[in-house]
Amino acid sequence: MLSVLNEVQHEHFYEGLGVPAAKAYTRCYDAIVSESRKVYPALEFVGPELGPIKWDKEHTTDFLGYFLDPHNHADGKAPNQISFHCKIDADAFSI
């Protein structure tokens, strides 16, 4: 399994999580998947892996909606997996 650009919202090539960011990420994702499959055809891909962020329902939903639409991918297929990372504040828990 290969993670494609872990916690992509922190990358420098775009701002935020709207459709413009999704288009940039989808182009990168498709290129990485295409080239990686030439070497290892059975490899599974995960992306995007979104890390701890302030949840912006509108822009995050736009980002994921664009990315998960198979029509926006070079191979015409929707990705099989996405991932979310969460941050847990240990101080918020007590025993």
- State the helix-helix crossing angle for 19-39 and 57-68, rounded to 10 degrees: 40
Q: How far apart are the C-alpha atoms of 43 and 4, rounded to whole Å? A: 12
Average per-residue pLDDT in the chain? 80
pLDDT value of position 84: 76
Residue 19 is classified by DSSP as: H
pLDDT of 49 > 60? The answer is yes
Which token pair is 58? 């509108």
Query: What 3-state class would DSSP assign to 20?
Result: helix
Confidence of residue 95 (pLDDT cuts 50, 70, 90): low
| pLDDT tens profile 63-83 | 889 999 999 999 999 998 888
How much of the chain, in percent, has pLDDT values that exceed 90? 36
3-state secondary structure 23-72: HHHHHHHHHHHHHHHHHCCCCCEECCEECCCCCCHHHHHHHHHHHHCHHH
| C-alpha count within 13 angstroms, C-beta hemisphere, residue 10 | 10
